[in-house]
Amino acid sequence: MDLLPSKNTHKYFRGNLHGHSDHSDGALNPKEVIKKYQELSYDFTCLSDHLWKGSKFAAETVLDIKNLNQTDFITIPSAELHCRGKKYIRDGLWHIVANGLPLDFKCADEEETASHLVQRAIDAGAFVTIAHPEWYSLTFDECLSVSHAHGVEVYNHSCHIEAQRGFGTATVDYLLQENNKIFLTATDDSHFKMKDFGGGWVMVAADNLSEISILNALKNGQYYSSTGVEIFEFQINNRKVTIRCSPSNQVCIVGQGAKSMSQNGKNITNAEFDLIDYPSDWFRVSIANDSGKFAWTNPIWF
């Protein structure tokens, strides 16, 4: 059984879910941002400009960019949502990424909680993820309060190159250990004030290049996340897992508790694991190459 749609039957679209323009605190205007991602052979991007009231770094409206869509490249209306109540960050603001928002989605007020804001965005039809948990020291209590989000940023490129706080592995696995069926995303969080773009992306197996098709595939977990490693095949038959990928030096199965399995070596392009006796209700795959590039599958639950 294919755990990721086969590349023989599905087209994969490369996209960035978290990025900014001069609608909030980005350096480039929307057209310039789109051109940058087109030059990198992306198929779509999301201008998730900050949505918050009365601040120089944020806007109070969701950016309308649908008029910039082309046949071979689309931009999905998005926002980085903020509300009060976050520990360990200036102004106590949460950061929550919502892709596929209606243009009339309102800013949070001073009283709205992160849990309520996440649910309001989900109810509005968005794909909602917990942004850069390592960057602003998301506590375990905090991550549990927003565990109904669709996913967690397992990698945020801007936070990685600015502060070496770009990973979200601890948050991902804590939520999984607590039986939350969470997805993983790799993103840029690009602002274009440095080379913070083209570092993390998702490869989405969608029916076509449209907002609704991309969002449906994301919500169904039909994608993988990457900083440079490609996944060509991800299958399971009788609990025996097969992964085909671009040349890598480590393919790792991660599961419940501290359970893991791995294959290590040079130029691994095919890895097989027998999970018949694997003592975990779920597993995910993490792949790394000798250039420090990664790929992550979404978790699979038995």
Question: Which domains, from first to last, does the chain contain?
Answer: 11-226 (3.20.20.140), 231-301 (2.60.40)
Can you give the pLDDT at residue 88?
97
Question: With bands split at pLDDT 50, 70 and 90, how would you rate the model's confidence at 99?
Answer: very high
* Residue 7, pLDDT above cutoff 90: no
Question: With bands split at pLDDT 50, 70 and 90, how would you rate the model's confidence at 54?
Answer: confident
Average pLDDT, integer, range 225-253: 97
Average pLDDT, integer, range 73-92: 96
Backbone φ and ψ for 284, nearest 5 degrees, come out as -135, 160
Whether 177 contacts 170, CB under 8 Å:
no
* Residue 173, pLDDT above cutoff 90: yes
Percentage of the chain beyond pLDDT 70 is: 100
Return the closest-CA partner of residue 207 out of 220, 198, 199, 216. 216
Can you give the pLDDT at residue 66?
85
Can you give the pLDDT at residue 294?
98
Chain mean pLDDT for the chain = 97
* Residue 9, pLDDT above cutoff 90: no
Can you give the pLDDT at residue 8?
83
Average pLDDT, integer, range 206-210: 96
Task: Mention every residue, 6+ apart, whose C-beta is less than 8 A from residue 242.
Answer: 233, 234, 235, 236, 270, 271, 272
